[in-house]
């Protein structure tokens, strides 16, 4: 097998990973049709082909290098470095598995099912506050809704949801090299603010009356079974993993359906199609287009030898639109038969998204409430896209909403 560092590969700069208005799909889709892998200048390799992306995400010979990438960009101390040290994204092996087990029940399918009435309550309250036909959907619904749900899941006061959402956005930005370069001070401020909040406000709650994840963690902290720093890291992992990502995916769902009015009208008539619609949104527009892995041993990557210590960036944006896997993959179609091939939006392997069931439930409930209220949705202006080099969301989504007669 050929070693990856001996292959003649196309070389792209980091700027190719930053597109607006979805242009990264055009750039990378064209590249993926010609090469399974590309070299990222001064960094590592971009894995484009679906089989290779899947193999990268599942490989036991890799780790998730969140902390290493931060340090590579010169951030070796400070609040955000401290935050990432204990985050699930920076852990591997038995420590990672043990920490995941502590929060898996709070985020699993059973808990997601129990929370559906709560999801609906928050959605109806947020939409009930919309009194005009035009709305900026991100500010009105997509941003506050998952922040409220994470407050419920953690057991934080609901009135803190807005600042939890703000902290989540900026802490998550530490994983985006372009955001990190432009907004390091703001990211440090968010990490420090959230750390103070957890220790001074959440950990001072009475364990006997705590709810959500705090009801599980605080008694363990009190009896010495869990270090307070480790409990704080778990709560921060849940916060950052469960707010910004769901916000971004919901905004894209609304955008895509506004751009495809016939599919929205079909959902209104046939709400049983909503889970399939969410699956198509997840496939078509993954909000984490790039996921990094660092090889911890020599790896066979679908016939290519990758040496230990190599940075691989798995591109779910191209893997989810693979022509050998899906029929007409460049089309957004909630009625299409996509077969048994799962999308890779939630990842794969040891770091498969622990909150995937919760995210699907939140998205399904959001479309359910929206289709019940609105006969038609359409764009009322141009969406404002965030960078795809981190969590690929929308900063603004102006919508025009037509209520049912």
Q: Which residue has the tokens 């984490």?
A: 288
- Is the pLDDT at 19 greater than 70, yes or no? no
Q: Which residues pair with 396 in a beta bridge?
A: 384
pTM: 0.95
Q: What proportion of the chain, given as a percentage, has pLDDT over 90? A: 80
Give the mean model confidence (pLDDT) for residues 159-177. Answer: 92
DSSP string spanning 194-234?
HHHHIIIIITTS-TTT--HHHHHHHHHHHTTSS-HHHHHHH
d(CA 88, CA 79): 16
Tell me the backbone φ, ψ of residue 93, rounded to 5 degrees: 65, -150
Q: Are 265 and 376 in contact (CB under 8 A)?
A: yes
Which residues lie closer than 8 Å to 238 by C-beta, 6 or more apart? 103, 106, 107, 150, 153, 154, 213, 355
Q: Band of the pLDDT at 22, cuts 50, 70, 90?
A: low
Q: Which two tokens stand for residue 356?
A: 């995937």
Domains of the chain with CATH codes = 2-403 (1.10.630.10)
- Is the pLDDT at 123 greater than 70, yes or no? yes
The tens digit of pLDDT for each residue in 235-287 reads: 989 988 899 999 999 999 999 999 999 999 999 999 999 999 999 999 999 99
Give the mean model confidence (pLDDT) for residues 166-193. Answer: 92
The tens digit of pLDDT for each residue in 27-82 reads: 889 899 999 999 998 889 999 999 999 999 999 999 998 888 888 889 999 999 98
Going from the C-alpha of 306 to that of each of 169, 218, 310, 368, the distances in angstroms are: 34, 43, 7, 45
- Is the pLDDT at 20 greater than 70, yes or no? no
Tell me the backbone φ, ψ of residue 324, rounded to 5 degrees: -80, -10
d(CA 230, CA 227): 5
Question: 212-222 and 144-154 helices cross at what angle (nearest 10)?
Answer: 40
The pLDDT value given to residue 178: 82
Which residues lie closer than 8 Å to 120 by C-beta, 6 or more apart? 365, 368, 369
């Amino acid at each position: 097998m050929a070693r990856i560092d001996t292959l003649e590969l196309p070389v792209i700069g980091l700027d190719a990973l930053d597109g607006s208005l979805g242009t990264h799909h055009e750039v990378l889709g064209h590249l993926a049709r010609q090469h399974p892998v590309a070299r990222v200048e001064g960094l590592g390799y971009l894995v484009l082909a679906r089989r290779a992306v899947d193999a990268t995400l599942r490989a036991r010979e890799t780790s998730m290098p969140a902390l290493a990438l931060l340090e590579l960009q010169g951030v070796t101390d400070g609040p955000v470095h401290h935050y990432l040290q204990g985050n699930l994204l920076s852990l591997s092996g038995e420590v990672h598995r043990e920490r995941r087990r502590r929060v898996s029940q709070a985020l699993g399918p059973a808990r997601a099912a129990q929370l559906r009435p709560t999801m609906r309550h928050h959605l109806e309250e947020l939409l009930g506050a919309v009194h005009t036909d035009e709305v900026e959907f991100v500010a009105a619904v997509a941003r506050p809704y998952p922040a409220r749900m994470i407050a419920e899941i953690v057991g934080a006061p609901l009135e803190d949801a807005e600042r939890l959402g703000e902290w989540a956005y900026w802490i998550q930005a530490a994983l985006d090299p372009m955001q990190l370069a432009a907004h390091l001070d703001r990211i440090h401020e968010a990490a420090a603010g959230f750390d103070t909040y957890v220790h001074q406000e959440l950990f001072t709650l009475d364990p006997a009356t705590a709810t959500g994840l705090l009801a599980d963690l605080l008694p363990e902290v009190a009896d010495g079974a869990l270090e307070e720093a480790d409990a704080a890291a778990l709560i921060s992992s849940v916060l950052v993993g469960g707010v910004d990502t769901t916000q971004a995916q919901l905004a894209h769902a609304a955008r895509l359906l506004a751009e495809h009015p016939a599919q929205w009208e079909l959902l209104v008539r046939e709400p049983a199609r909503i889970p399939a619609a969410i699956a198509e949104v997840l496939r078509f527009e993954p909000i984490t287009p790039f996921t990094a892995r660092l090889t911890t041993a020599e790896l066979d990557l679908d016939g290519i030898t990758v040496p230990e210590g190599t940075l691989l960036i798995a591109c779910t944006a191209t893997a989810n639109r693979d022509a050998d896997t899906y029929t007409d993959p460049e089309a957004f179609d909630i009625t299409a038969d996509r077969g048994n091939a799962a999308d890779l939006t939630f990842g794969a392997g040891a770091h498969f998204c622990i909150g995937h069931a919760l995210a699907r439930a939140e998205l399904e409930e959001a479309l359910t409430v929206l289709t019940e209220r609105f006969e038609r949705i359409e764009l009322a202006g141009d969406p404002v896209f965030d960078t795809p080099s981190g969590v690929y969301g929308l900063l603004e989504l102006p919508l025009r909403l037509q209520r049912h007669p």
